[in-house]
A and B are shown apart, each in its own frame.
Chain A
Amino acid sequence: MPRIISNSSTSRREFLRDLGIGAAALPFVLNLPSLGFANQGARKKRLVIMFSPNGVIPSAFWPDEEGTKFTLKESLKPLEPFKNRTLILHGVCDKLRGDGDNHMRGMGCLLTGIELFPGNIQGGSDTPAGWARGLSIDQEIRNKLQRTASTRTRFGSLEFGVMVPDRADTWSRMVYAGPNKPLAPIDDPYQMFNKLYGRMKDQESLKSILDELKEDLGKVRSVVSAEDRQLLDEHATFVREMEQELKDQASRDNSHPVPEIEPGVRHANDQMPKLSKMQIDLMVGAFAADFARVATLQYTNSVGQARMKWVGVNESHHELSHHPDSNKKSQESLTKINRWYCEQLAYLARRLADTPEPGGGGSLLDNTTIVWTNELGKGNSHTLDDIPFVLVGNGLDFKMGRSLKFRKVPHNRLLLALANGMGHHIEKFGNPNLCGDGVLSLS
């Protein structure tokens, strides 16, 4: 098999297309051992944090049972195929208080585990606030991985978004590179594609003009004086060297596939399902190419207003989430919304499970843990108790296939568990007072 891949990636793809093998099958065909980079030795552990907003409907979300025998409720039904690789954590609470309303703290403290700065962003209640006072756990882990050659990757982490509003405020940012340093998720798949593969595309374009460049350089050489010719000869040498380097680079790049994403999808509410799929495909491709080992996937924002017409819900999400429990129709709509988000989680898990681990045994899901979370426990009460945490996959070696119920555990301890699961052995994260009994044991 490797022999057919020695051509340029364009012709490789054309070749596969001619064979009738679609993009989804590419990873199988191209499951090559990667070149011997420093980071290809040990098992590659990965972490994905997926966010959806506005709380859940507890009765349609949390399993009644505790332990290995439990039933998935309506919101979590899409996880049925992965039930034995799923871990549901009830009773984990965001205990951070201080400036900002619950949406803001729910979002800003979710991954940072630390309070917000005072500031000028005024929520629906409480005092105004600014950004979080510390970095988020994904960045903490990323920094740790990037410090060591054996775990270092091209990007370290990738921040995906789907329909995130184009404004920077405490409700629209959950990832922080440091205090007052929120990171914007990339919610345009084409922008993400360029970030991941732009270099390769540029190199293809460059390669395609080299013949013309050499041709004209020769013509120019013939019309200058003999003394000046030397400079152009030197120039021609550089062009030849570049050509060789591009060839070498291309043969390296061919060791992993480029996902094909649908062209021309606009940034619009109704395109959300397509955008979601494109982003997930890009994420899986990036993992297969080992561009990063940490990723976040943020759907909309805290107080997000998606209108999920494609599941029959025409009202906007946040408005629905304020309706009282007695409003059965709204409860049903909200359950549908959360079920759709869960379907995205399941699609991601499916793609990871279907993609073999390059250079190793098993699938990407065997080495990846997805954490699905939310800034609120319940929309209409705005509680920060019982924040949804649903984990899928086996990257962090937690004991999966369980429904666990804790008694109001500060979520900082779960953040610690994620770090430790990723091989980053820390005892405190965020506000140290909320790390009391240390790492939450999940294995």
Chain B
Amino acid sequence: MVALPMPNDNDNGNENEPTQMIGRPDGRGLDRSRVPTSLALAGWLALATAPFLTGASPGAGAGTGASDEVGRAGGRTGEQIYRQMCASCHGAAGEGTDDHYPRPLIGERPVASLAKLIARTMPEDDPGTCVGPDAQKVAAYIHGAFYSKAAQAKNPMRPARIELSRLTVRQYRNALSDLLARPQNAPRWDNRRGLNGQYARAGRRRRGGGDNADGFTRLDPEIRFHFGENSPIPAQNAVKEQSRHYVPLPALPVPANLFRSYSQEFRINWQGSLLAPDTGEYEFVVRTENAMRLWVNDNDKPLIDVSVKSGNDTEYRETIYLLGGRVYPIRLEVSKSKETTASIELLWKVPRRGLGLIPARNLSPSDAPEVYVVRTPFPPDDRSVGYERGTSISKAWDQATTDAAIEAADFIDGHLKDVAGITDGANDQDRQRRLREFCSQFAERAFRRPLSDEQRKLYIDRQLKDARDPRTAVKKVVLLVLKSPRFLYREIGTGVPDSYDVASRLSFGLWDSIPDRALADATASGRLAHHEQIADQARRMAGDLRARAKLREFLLQWLRVDQGAEIAKDPKVFPGFDEAVITDLRTSLELFLDDVISSPSADFRELLGARSLYLNGRLARFYGVDLPPDAPFRKVDRAPGNRSGILTHPYLMAGFAYTSSSSPIHRGVFLSRSVLGRPLRPPPVAVAPIAADLHPDLTTRQRVELQTKPETCQSCHRMINHLGFALEHYDAIGRYRDTEKNRPIDATGSYETRSGERVRFDGAAQLASFLAQSQETHNAFVQQVFHYLVKQPIRAFGRTELTDLRGAFADRGYNIRELMVEIMTSSALASRAGD
């Protein structure tokens, strides 16, 4: 059974409902086998009961005993009608009731639309008893009293405020990595791509390879080599060739072919760094018939150690947890001894992605320092409002913070020299001084502000005094600091933030981590006071890899593919559309996103309207471009199929589709929720989509129209369907088509704006140009970026925050990076008390 979402006029700033959108409210109505291509959200078709007003029997509510006498004669005011017929479920002031309708009755419909809806659906158990002028009156009352934005602004139901929040898991992990980093060296990520390969004859291993006469060093973009029986070092092949010209002596103890193979022994050492795009478990895979070792983020202990080649295995796998937006040291060494042939491939599986060669764009020949990545598992954060936030805690979370603190303390204990500059050799007094200095700095960086005298006594002095030996003392300080609420919670206190709070808002907003040295220095020296100074820091920080990664993660979530799309297509209908193709499509999407957000204009409208498509040889044959089968990815400008940015990207089109047919409803829901910011909630009743073979003569569009024909469905599907229909030119794998079942595609659609105007469009390009200039789209995007960065409701930052930011977004040419800077700058100084 697949349920359909309903428009939910409950727009209290939480535009995204819990991801649990499927079937019954408890989520058990979902039968996954019927949801072939669930992208974050499942299939949608509504069998709707009321979209928002659930029933109250007349006179049963909070109304007065007199209400019956008032009867249905036209004399009642809207307020009286509301009290009589609605309040028992919706609460006296629309705040909702636990038993019947727990959500506040707020939203964006104009009065007329609200009246129509009430007339059609309310009260839930007896629709049709509140119609005509009654419906008009009650709608007007509701609208003016609490429902509309204006009413809320006058009299907010739940005053939004900046809530005390703990670090999210992502923030915790990143903060710990930065706390435990060696302060002196930051990674470089310049324009050189690939790894530095040092090729040498075996036994002549030299780092740098400079003085090896036969060997050489070169930059290899990717690691995929099949050397066969030859050596990559030409001098060795020359020796082998020469040995063929000599007749082997019968008494020669070493057979000539053995000699030849000895002469072919070589070793290659690739070194550099690796950029992890996402956070999660990475699987590294090395394929070789030779001996090899792979180091990732640990320069001492190999992640995979096959220095002893044993047996016939040729593929080795190991996983490691990495944080996105960070650069890690990587090194791969392969050595051929007496094996006949040599080859090597270095692949990886990015979290929720298929296996693929590590591409050059994620590799750099520059060195990078190791990054401490905490291994303790944490329970996942609450994402029910559409973004991860830390407004609740649990026993499991508390236990995880303890385990992680112990893990970090052990790490520091074992790396005192690296992390704290403390050596065994130093004399006692010097050692003591350094220890105290390290402990103070550690606490201040963790707390993101200087220690008060009282805190210094508690966190430093008492620990150092009581401990038996210096190492135990450091461990105690680290444990105490990492268990402290001053580390674990974002902002402690009330009222106006000071400049340390401002710095933290910037760094957690843009990096999900603690301030770096430059920001901390600016804060300490009073250079983070004015709006301009804050904006300068925000702009500097927005250029960092971590900010880029966070923006990227946001976009993937905005597109509902952050958890990866489960795409599987009918092989009879789409032969060859396999996992490799799906992985390539994902890459194509990510290349496009990276291209837009790193271009100078970083124009949001380009996301919706770009006519290019990234394709490689494998994808080209599906999407009508002529490329050699093994061609690497390239940007194809004016790609065939009337492309329109993310609206028609094949990865999304394939994701918002069934195994063999498109799904205008999936697509419409995506456009409604993500792009236009229209809140939808699941209906209480689940419906299975009509199977295509029940109506073999109908087009997809006709089938969807048939199924959502009932008036109850139409309250939502009038919006959903008519957005989704505009993308009907794209089939279940996102190929362009002009016909379906020998009938021309009808890609006309429409959308009723929040102000009640109906916009019409035909096809993706027209839809894109409407969306790109629509304030609704801009509002939705700004609000979602805000929530992703700040992790607090935007309303807590002032009544005009959203409007102001939208204006700034427009003024800056819809530059997404500038939007991040604006959001951070404008929110950094907001008072915690609310407006």
Closest B-chain residue to A219, C-beta based? B454
A235 touches B398 (CB 8 A): yes
- Which of B207-215, B239-247, B308-316, B379-387 interfaces with chain A? B308-316
Select A130's contact among B164, B309, B486, beta carbons within 8 Å.
Answer: B309
- Complex Cα distance, B161 from A228, in Å, reads 11
Select B493's contact among A198, A224, A227, beta carbons within 8 Å.
Answer: A224
Q: For residue B476, which residues in chain A have a CB less than 8 angstroms away from its CB? A: 205, 208-209
Q: For residue A130, which residues in chain B have a CB less than 8 angstroms away from its CB? A: 308-311
Interface string of B448-491 (1 = CB under 8 A from A): 00000001001100110010000010011001100111100100
Closest A-chain residue to B494, C-beta based? A225
Interface string of B527-562 (1 = CB under 8 A from A): 000000000000000000000000000000000000
A180 touches B311 (CB 8 A): yes
Q: For residue B164, which residues in chain A have a CB less than 8 angstroms away from its CB? A: 224-225, 227-228, 231-232
- Which of A44-52, A112-120, A290-298, A431-439 interfaces with chain B? A112-120
Closest A-chain residue to B405, C-beta based? A206
Select B163's contact among A213, A228, A242, beta carbons within 8 Å.
Answer: A228
Most chain A beta-carbon contacts within 10 A, residue among B309, B455, B484: B309
Is there a chain A Cβ closer than 8 Å to B395's Cβ?
A: yes
Most chain B beta-carbon contacts within 10 A, residue among A130, A131, A209: A209
Is there a chain B Cβ closer than 8 Å to A238's Cβ?
A: yes
B494 touches A209 (CB 8 A): no
Q: Is the interface of A mostly helix, strand, loop or mixed?
A: helix
- Complex Cα distance, B480 from A206, in Å, reads 8
Is there a chain B Cβ closer than 8 Å to A412's Cβ?
A: no
A128 touches B458 (CB 8 A): no
A216 touches B163 (CB 8 A): no
B310 touches A131 (CB 8 A): yes
B402 touches A235 (CB 8 A): no
B310 touches A180 (CB 8 A): yes
**B residues 316-345 touching A (CB-CB < 8 Å):** 337-339
- Complex Cα distance, B178 from A80, in Å, reads 60
**A residues 82-131 touching B (CB-CB < 8 Å):** 116-122, 128-131
- Complex Cα distance, B322 from A1, in Å, reads 52
Is there a chain B Cβ closer than 8 Å to A248's Cβ?
A: no
Most chain B beta-carbon contacts within 10 A, residue among A208, A224, A228: A228
Select A120's contact among B291, B479, B483, B832, beta carbons within 8 Å.
Answer: B291
Q: For residue B398, which residues in chain A have a CB less than 8 angstroms away from its CB? A: 235, 238-239, 242
Is there a chain B Cβ closer than 8 Å to A217's Cβ?
A: yes
**A residues 172-207 touching B (CB-CB < 8 Å):** 179-180, 198, 202, 205-206
Chain B nearest CB from A178 CB (Å) reads: 12
Chain B nearest CB from A115 CB (Å) reads: 11
Most chain B beta-carbon contacts within 10 A, residue among A122, A169, A225, A227: A225
Interface string of B141-169 (1 = CB under 8 A from A): 00000000000000000000101101000
Closest B-chain residue to A228, C-beta based? B164
Q: For residue B636, which residues in chain A have a CB less than 8 angstroms away from its CB? A: none
B313 touches A180 (CB 8 A): yes
Interface string of B389-420 (1 = CB under 8 A from A): 00111010011001000100110000000000
Select A232's contact among B410, B459, B485, beta carbons within 8 Å.
Answer: B485
Is there a chain A Cβ closer than 8 Å to B307's Cβ?
A: yes
**With A232-B485, A241-B395, A242-B398 in contact, do A168 and B305 touch (Cβ < 8 Å)?**
yes
- Complex Cα distance, B832 from A170, in Å, reads 64
Is there a chain B Cβ closer than 8 Å to A18's Cβ?
A: no
Closest B-chain residue to A223, C-beta based? B493
B486 touches A216 (CB 8 A): yes
- Complex Cα distance, B459 from A215, in Å, reads 11
Q: For residue A117, which residues in chain B have a CB less than 8 angstroms away from its CB? A: 310-311
A120 touches B308 (CB 8 A): yes
B313 touches A120 (CB 8 A): no
- Complex Cα distance, B459 from A86, in Å, reads 58
Is there a chain A Cβ closer than 8 Å to B70's Cβ?
A: no
Q: For residue B475, which residues in chain A have a CB less than 8 angstroms away from its CB? A: 205
Is there a chain A Cβ closer than 8 Å to B492's Cβ?
A: yes
B483 touches A213 (CB 8 A): yes
A212 touches B485 (CB 8 A): no
Q: For residue B494, which residues in chain A have a CB less than 8 angstroms away from its CB? A: 223-225
- Complex Cα distance, B727 from A207, in Å, reads 62
Chain B nearest CB from A198 CB (Å) reads: 8
- Complex Cα distance, B158 from A227, in Å, reads 13
Q: For residue A168, which residues in chain B have a CB less than 8 angstroms away from its CB? A: 305, 307-308
Closest B-chain residue to A238, C-beta based? B398
Chain B nearest CB from A182 CB (Å) reads: 8
Closest B-chain residue to A217, C-beta based? B485
B311 touches A242 (CB 8 A): no
Closest A-chain residue to B483, C-beta based? A213
Is there a chain B Cβ closer than 8 Å to A265's Cβ?
A: no
Closest B-chain residue to A129, C-beta based? B310
Chain B nearest CB from A335 CB (Å) reads: 34
Q: For residue A119, which residues in chain B have a CB less than 8 angstroms away from its CB? A: 308-311
Q: For residue B486, which residues in chain A have a CB less than 8 angstroms away from its CB? A: 216, 220
Interface string of A233-252 (1 = CB under 8 A from B): 01100110110000000000
B338 touches A234 (CB 8 A): no
Q: For residue A227, which residues in chain B have a CB less than 8 angstroms away from its CB? A: 161, 163-164
B337 touches A120 (CB 8 A): yes
A170 touches B308 (CB 8 A): yes
Chain B nearest CB from A184 CB (Å) reads: 11
A213 touches B480 (CB 8 A): yes
Q: For residue B458, which residues in chain A have a CB less than 8 angstroms away from its CB? A: 212, 215-216
Q: For residue B409, which residues in chain A have a CB less than 8 angstroms away from its CB? A: 202, 205
- Complex Cα distance, B163 from A170, in Å, reads 59
Chain B nearest CB from A204 CB (Å) reads: 9
Interface string of A119-161 (1 = CB under 8 A from B): 1111000001111010000000000000000000000000000
- Complex Cα distance, B492 from A231, in Å, reads 12
Select A223's contact among B410, B472, B480, B492, beta carbons within 8 Å.
Answer: B492
Interface string of B1-31 (1 = CB under 8 A from A): 0000000000000000000000000000000
Closest A-chain residue to B466, C-beta based? A208
A220 touches B311 (CB 8 A): no
B493 touches A238 (CB 8 A): no
Q: For residue B455, which residues in chain A have a CB less than 8 angstroms away from its CB? A: 216
B402 touches A242 (CB 8 A): yes
Q: For residue A242, which residues in chain B have a CB less than 8 angstroms away from its CB? A: 398-399, 402
- Complex Cα distance, B458 from A130, in Å, reads 56
- Complex Cα distance, B312 from A133, in Å, reads 12
Closest B-chain residue to A226, C-beta based? B494
- Complex Cα distance, B21 from A52, in Å, reads 65
Q: For residue A121, which residues in chain B have a CB less than 8 angstroms away from its CB? A: 308-309
- Complex Cα distance, B399 from A124, in Å, reads 54
**A residues 234-278 touching B (CB-CB < 8 Å):** 234-235, 238-239, 241-242
- Complex Cα distance, B484 from A428, in Å, reads 57
Chain A nearest CB from B501 CB (Å) reads: 13
Chain A nearest CB from B267 CB (Å) reads: 12
Q: For residue A198, which residues in chain B have a CB less than 8 angstroms away from its CB? A: 410
- Complex Cα distance, B493 from A235, in Å, reads 17
**With A206-B402, A242-B402 in contact, do A120 and B309 touch (Cβ < 8 Å)?**
yes
Q: For residue B832, which residues in chain A have a CB less than 8 angstroms away from its CB? A: 225
Closest B-chain residue to A167, C-beta based? B307
Q: For residue B462, which residues in chain A have a CB less than 8 angstroms away from its CB? A: 212
Select A179's contact among B291, B311, B479, beta carbons within 8 Å.
Answer: B311
Chain B nearest CB from A66 CB (Å) reads: 40
User: Can you spell out 21 A-B residue pairs with CB atoms less than 8 angstroms apart?
Assistant: A118-B310, A120-B291, A120-B308, A120-B309, A120-B337, A130-B308, A170-B308, A205-B479, A215-B458, A216-B484, A217-B485, A220-B486, A220-B489, A223-B492, A224-B493, A227-B163, A231-B164, A231-B391, A238-B395, A241-B395, A242-B402
Additional 10 contacts, C-beta under 8 A, given A209-B463, A225-B161, A231-B393:
A118-B311, A119-B311, A122-B337, A131-B310, A205-B475, A205-B476, A208-B476, A212-B463, A223-B494, A225-B164
**Which A residues are closer than 8 A to B by beta carbons?**
116-122, 128-131, 133, 168-170, 179-180, 198, 202, 205-206, 208-209, 212-213, 215-217, 220, 223-225, 227-228, 231-232, 234-235, 238-239, 241-242
